[in-house]
Amino acid sequence: MNIRALGCYGSDALLQRTTGPHTCNTCGFLLNGTLLLDAGTVATKLSFNEQKQIRHIILSHLHFDHIKGLPTLADNISEQMSTPIVVAAIPEVIHGLQRHIFNTDVYPDFFSIPTPEQPTLTSSCLKPGHVYSFSGIEVTPILVNHTVPSTGFIVQDRSSAFVYSGDTYSTDELWHEAHRIPHLTAAFIECSFPNSMSELARMSKHLTPALLAQEVRKLDRDDISLYAYHLKPAYKDEIIHELRELHIPGLEVLEEDHTLTI
């Protein structure tokens, strides 16, 4: 399975480094070119032709940094698609998109245009714990512990599997389910704030490096790659330093514009 990180941070930012400017973008991951996992960053990283290859979009939750690429993607491809893109998520996310974003005030209702019979987007409500097949990839949404209804995902094909935390604080079911998958090869674990901001992490239900270490222990797999992502760019260096201090085997910080093959 190919995983292309279009964006993998907890916000957008331009960082000035000694090597030059370094952009950070919100989370969007393109799987095998056709399945998009979260839609924070989409169209700014893909050609029109690549945008038109997307057949399914799975969303972890409604927070803006995970959906903000969706309106402009729909706008770009609206007149060019013969079949709608399926947007799949738990009902709270689907209803929130339709009520708060594609409501004709904030943005046109791409769930009913160009025509109600053949819209740009169509929705699919997911039940946590059920297995779905999108673009030949099996996806299982599992509820996690965030400030709004949210899921992580277990994503697998015949040869490989990974677990994606979405945005979460301390959670259990996702790691216990992932632990049991024999061909699990990678885990993507959010890590938003440095340890010094643990109170903000608790209130906003995100992880710090110390909390990430606890979640990794629950996952209890020493044979897979671990990728920390969703770092808040303002604290990137501090978080990376604290993650390195943990000395967790297989743990690295995900960089965007990379394609992983797992």
CB of 52 to Zn ion, least distance (A): 26
Per CB under 5 A, contacts with Zn ion among 149-168 are 167
CB 60, min distance to Zn ion, A = 8
CB of 80 to Zn ion, least distance (A): 30
Quote the CA–CA distance of 33 and 13 in Å, as a whole number. Answer: 25
Three-class HEC string of the chain: CEEEEEECECCCEEEEECCEEEEECECEEEECCCEEEEECCCHHHCCHHHHHHCCEEECCCCCHHHCCCHHHHHHHHHHHCCCCEEEEECHHHHHHHHHHHCCCCCCCCCCCCECCCCECEEEEECCCCCCEEECCEEEEEEECCCCCCCEEEEEECCCCEEEECCCCCCCCHHHHHHHCCCCEEEEEEECCCCHHHHHHHHHHCCCCHHHHHHHHHHHCCCCCEEEEECECHHHHHHHHHHHHHCCCCCEEECCCCCEEEC
Nearest distance in Å: CB 207, Zn ion? 11
**Closer residue to Zn ion, CB minimum distance, 28 or 71:** 28
Interface with Zn ion: number of residues (CB under 5 A): 3
Q: Shortest gap between Cβ of 24 and Zn ion (angstroms)? A: 13
Is the Cβ of residue 144 or residue 184 nearer to Zn ion in the bound state?
144
Closest to Zn ion by CB, 28 vs 119, is 28
Nearer to Zn ion, 119 or 152 (CB): 152
Q: How far is the CB of 108 from Zn ion (least distance, A)?
A: 25
Nearer to Zn ion, 160 or 204 (CB): 204
Footprint on residues 43-82 left by Zn ion (CB under 5 A): 63, 65
221 touches 196 (CB < 8 A): no
Cα(86)–Cα(83) distance, integer angstroms: 9
Structure tokens belonging to residue 87: 């947007």
Q: Which is nearer to Zn ion, 51 or 151 (CB)?
A: 151
Rounded least distance, CB 171 to Zn ion, Å: 13
C-beta of 56 vs 61, nearer to Zn ion:
61
CB of residue 65 to Zn ion, shortest distance in Å: 4
Q: Does 232 bind Zn ion (CB under 5 A)?
A: no
Residue that is written with structure tokens 């005030």 in the block:
105
Question: Which residue's CB is nearer to Zn ion, number 167 or number 215?
Answer: 167
Interface with Zn ion by CB under 5 A: which residues?
63, 65, 167
